Amino acid sequence: MSDRRPSAGFSTKFEEFQGEVDSHEALYKYSIGQTDEFWGRCAMSRLSWTQPPKTVNASDLNSGEIKWFQDGKLNVCYNCVDRHLPSHADKPALIWERDDSSKSRKVTYRELHEYICKFANVLKANGVQKGDRVAIYLPVGLQGAAAMLACARIGAVHSVIFTGFSAEALSHRIDDADCKLLLAQDYTSRGGKTINLKQIVIDAANKSKSLKKTLVYSEADNQDGWLDSFTDLSKQIEDASSECPIVEMNAEDPLFLLYTSGSTGKPKGLVHTSAGYLLYAQMTVKHVFDLEPSDVFACVADIGWITGHTYVVYGPLANGATTLCFDSHPLFPNAGRYWETVAKYHVTQFYGAPTAYRMLLRLGNEFVKSHDLSSLRVIGSVGEPINVAAWTWLHEIVGNSKCDIVDTWWQTETGGNLLTPRPSNQGAEIKPGMAMRQFYGIEVAICDPGTGKEIAWEAGQKIEGALCFKKPWPGMARTIYGNHKRFLETYYNPYPGMYFSGDGAVRDEDGYVTITGRMDDVINISGHRLGTAEIEDVLNSHLSVSETAVIGIPHEIKGESAVAFSILKEKADLNQENVRSELIQLVRGRLAKFAAPEKIYFVTGLPKTRSGKIMRRILRKISAGQIDEIGDVTTLADPSVVQLIIQKVVGAK
Ligand code: ATP
Ligand code: MG
């Protein structure tokens, strides 16, 4: 396998700069040299303003004050829906692929507009006003997306909480953001199972102190009368008027707040504002994914995460494309569900997470090969580092060696993709795995955690350190709701004058950035610094391994040593001892002798957040025998995994 792969054709789609620049490199240079002009011109041509802004950027990374287009006014819902009506009211805005695919449906821009207007009128009738926070506990689909856009239409601030969360996690987030209203649902269906959300809604509504009202969308009839104590959202929407004027918003008025995944600690409620966020969503989806209005864009994230906000709802709709809401499970009814969906709707871009890709890879290629995926042009990955084996599988098997694979690095805080192989084809190539470039207007700085200073980079040089950014961009978060101090301490104080991501990265000889993992996950073995992702990548390349988490534990002589937790593929004749020694040899050969794990545990599951990320801090605590100090596990998808791992580790001692 060659180290580099050419990317498929990509034309620069910047009408604003036609005749001025003719290559990605030239435009990138312009975006970095004349940053305010770049964003200003894009903001004018891509967004519809009720009052165009005169100022572009008034941000200061030293003080953590972020402001874009601050004297401009617009409405985000208008930009995502209303403005497309004159040209394509009858085109599907949203395809809702439901768990039971026979219930799936397409919703045109005209229908979506009408539904949002009704929804917004219901919110108003229930006392919601501009600036009020509204909690949304709805799955991805028509109601969830419309709830977000209805809030945007009337200037309410939404806080979407993933429907996998418990009553405690839900009520905590409701109170933390001082939400006045909760929009919820009685049942949902995932992987063929009916999930009863009623008790969670009842408990959360009872527990939450800030709530004034709960509106419930009913998927079933109200036979047991449980709905009687709540407001029936479905009925009210039906009866509401389908006309609802937009509320003009200041560019810097909050659009939503959203909690991080909680991989590293207590989730942070990040606040995103209106114009800057929308512009960044519009631009990244268009240029990273080569999105055309005629495309069917399938981001399979839930709206409970930032990926669902930017790449299911706001980004694709701001471009007037068709967005696909995937409201099911990748293994239901079998491991071909994603690919069946792609074939059914002629999906052009598919955007998912490494955790799902790794799971599907383990189950064999026939689930992919039995579907016609020829409509696909770009396949994206987000959430965690994508290992080379999964990248190659996406490229060769899913993409039939014809699609661009874009590993996109970003965070809840960043609003949209910052590092990605696209946009570019101008002779440039995509490296398998985690190699990434900067999006327009984005300038990386790799910093030394010891001195707190930037490490200078030049072509031909490879440097490693803390991943920071030295220029503000419109899509960045403005604060942590109710805790600006934590915001400054987390992102702005560690490296003055820069935004600090919390992740570590390598910048290679060609300027490509590779994420090494969280800074907290860097291991120092005998003075050698290694990202956990690097060791995991090697272990995952073994044919019998599907997924691995590596952590560092204290070691008397080496300072730290690596410990691995691997999930093996389902094979009957597997000799674990042989695999273990092969794995150690693999790391020694591919990385370094010192990097070989001190211990390798074969486990059946890893502690993951509900967004599919590995919580390594839990593995660190278990390995250190500090079982009582495991801490907050409310964001864990399956807490029973923890007990199984404890048994494995304790049993092996
Ligand atoms: P918390 O901040 O509460 O610990 P979190 O960081 O997991 O949770 P998110 O904002 O959902 O919450 O995730 C962003 C993080 O996900 C990034 O900081 C990075 O560590 C990881 N990540 C996202 N995309 C990629 C990618 N393409 N490659 C490597 N890591 C990624
Ligand atoms: Mg984070």
pLDDT tens-place string over residues 237-263:
999 999 999 999 999 999 999 999 877
613 lines ligand 1 (CB under 6 A): yes
Q: What would the pLDDT profile of 365-387 be if each residue is shown by its tens digit?
A: 999 999 999 999 999 999 988 88
Closest ligand 1 atom to residue 407 Cα is: 27
Distance, in Å, from the CA atom of 214 to the CA atom of 603, rounded to the nearest integer, reads: 41
Atom of ligand 1 nearest to the CA of 259: 3
Give the helix, strand, coil percentages of the chain, each rounded to 5: 35, 25, 40
Q: Are the C-beta atoms of 435 and 513 separated by less than 8 Å?
A: yes
Task: Answer whether 385 contacts ligand 1 (Cβ < 6 A).
Answer: yes
| pLDDT level of residue 424 (50, 70, 90 thresholds) | low
Relative to the alpha carbon of 531, which ligand is closest?
Answer: 1
Dist. CA 306 → ligand 1 center (Å):
10
What is the reported pLDDT for 433? 67
List residues bridging with 136 in a β-sheet.
160, 183
Distance (Å) from CA 501 to ligand 1 centroid = 9
**Residues around ligand 2, an ion, CB closer than 5 A:** 260
Helices 109-125, 142-154: crossing angle, 10 deg rounding: 60
Amino acid symbol at 129: Q
What is the model's pLDDT at position 9?
A: 38
Most informative mutation of 161, 302, 379, 515 for ligand 1 (most atoms within 8 A of CB): 515
- How far apart, in whole angstroms, are the C-alpha atoms of residue 131 and residue 179? 11
State the distance from the centre of ligand 2 to the C-alpha of 9, rounded, in angstroms.
33
Atom of ligand 1 nearest to the CA of 267: 3
Per-residue confidence (pLDDT) for residue 77, from 0 to 100: 99
**pLDDT at residue number 226:** 83
Cα 476 to middle of ligand 2, angstroms: 13
The answer on pLDDT for 429 being more than 70 is: no
pLDDT tens digits, 44-67: 999 999 999 999 999 999 999 999
Residue 75, ligand 1, Cβ within 6 A: no
Q: Which of 104-108, 146-150, 448-452 has the weakest average pLDDT?
A: 448-452
Q: What's the confidence (pLDDT) of residue 428?
A: 54
pLDDT at 187: 92
What spacing in Å lies between the alpha carbon of 383 and ligand 1's midpoint?
5
**Ligand approaching nearest to the C-alpha of 264:** 1
Our CA dihedral for 343, 318, 301, 230, rounded to 10 degrees, sits at -120
Q: Are 300 and 326 in contact (CB under 8 A)?
A: yes
Cβ–ligand 1 distance for 417 under 6 Å, the answer no
Helices and strands, counts by H and E, the chain: 21, 33
pTM: 0.90
The predicted structure's pLDDT at residue 338: 98
Pocket test of ligand 1: the residue of 176, 257, 263 to mutate, having most ligand atoms within 8 Å of its CB, is 263
Question: Residue 408 CA: which ligand 1 atom is closest?
Answer: 27
Confidence (pLDDT) at 87: 97
Please work out whether the CB of residue 518 comes within 6 Å of at least one atom of ligand 1: yes
Query: In which order are the strands placed within the sheet that holds 157-160?
Result: 231-232, 213-217, 181-185, 133-137, 157-160, 254-259, 269-273, 479-480
Tokens encoding 459: 């072509």
**How far is the centre of ligand 1, averaged over its atoms, from the C-alpha of 567 (Å)?**
22
Confidence of residue 2 (pLDDT cuts 50, 70, 90): very low
184-239, pLDDT tens digit by residue? Answer: 999 999 999 999 999 999 999 999 999 999 999 987 777 788 888 899 999 999 99
Q: Check if 14 has its Cβ closer than 6 Å to any atom of ligand 1.
A: no
- Expressed in angstroms and rounded, the spacing between residue 518 Cα and the centre of ligand 1 is 8
Distance 577 CA to ligand 2 centre (A): 36
Distance 173 CA to ligand 2 centre (A): 17
Instruction: Please work out whether the CB of residue 383 comes within 6 Å of at least one atom of ligand 1.
Output: yes
Percentage, residues of the chain above pLDDT 90: 75
Q: Per mean pLDDT, which of 127-136, 352-361, 606-615 is the most reliable?
A: 127-136
Q: pLDDT for 452-465, tens place per residue?
A: 999 999 999 999 99
Domains, the chain, ranges and CATH? 11-58 (no CATH), 530-650 (3.30.300.30)
Q: How far is Cα 116 from Cα 202, in angstroms, rounded to an integer?
A: 26
Whether the CB of 382 sits within 6 Å of ligand 1:
yes
Element (H, E) at 184: strand 181-185
Q: Going by CA atoms, what residue is nearest to atom 31 of ligand 1?
A: 384
Closest-lying ligand to the alpha carbon of 518? 1
Atom of ligand 1 nearest to the CA of 305: 11
User: pLDDT by residue (tens digit) across 510-547?
Assistant: 899 999 888 888 888 887 778 888 889 899 999 999 99
Measuring from atom 3 of ligand 1, which residue has the nearest CA? 262
- Residue among 613, 615, 616, 618 whose CB has most ligand 1 atoms within 8 A, to mutate: 613
Q: What is the pLDDT of residue 637?
A: 87
Q: Which residues contact 530 (CB under 8 A, 6 or more apart)?
A: 516, 522, 523, 524, 562, 591, 595
Residue 398, CA distances (Å) to 81, 84, 390 in order: 32, 32, 10
Q: What whole-number distance in Å separates Cα of residue 491 and Cα of residue 243? A: 42
413 CA from centroid of ligand 1 (Å): 10
Residue 625 gets the label, from left (phi > 0), alpha (psi -120 to 50) or beta, of left
Counting ligands in written order, the one closest to the CA of 611 is 1
Predicted pLDDT at 163 = 92
Ligand 1 in contact with 307 (CB < 6 A)? no
Kindly give the number of the ligand 1 atom that is closest to the alpha carbon of 262. Answer: 3
